[in-house]
Amino acid sequence: MPTRLKEDFEIPDKLKNIYQEMEISPLGILKNYALSFVNGKIQKYDAEKSYFEKKHGQSLEELRRKIDAMENEENFEWEDDLNDWEFAVENLKYWKRKAVELQGK
């Protein structure tokens, strides 16, 4: 269901002419803006994921198993990294889904 941002929203004639010359619509501009925002999020979380892969020299699953296998000891840095890494991976998946949604519309 489309959402009205503002009922009295009007595009100035100068902008309408530019949009027509460029063969783009205001809706297309909003979509491209949203895609740029989403792609920025994807890059951010992909960089975080890569950082942890490089730092630990293993996959997220391998680090998780390593932490789970520790007995009578704790490594707070690894546990913090694991939480941050999981957060980055989940957000990366989320924003990639949003990019697909935007590109499909």
The sign of the CA dihedral 40, 41, 46, 47 is: positive
pLDDT, mean over the chain: 90
Picking from 1-10, 30-39, 56-65, 66-75, which range would have the lowest pLDDT averaged per residue? 1-10
* Spatial distance between the Cα atoms of 54 and 15, rounded to a whole number of angstroms: 47
pLDDT digits over 3-43, tens only?
555 566 677 888 888 888 887 787 888 888 999 999 999 99
In the prediction, which pLDDT does 7 show? 60
Question: Residue 83: in which H helix or E strand, if any?
Answer: helix 76-104
What's residue 44's pLDDT? 98
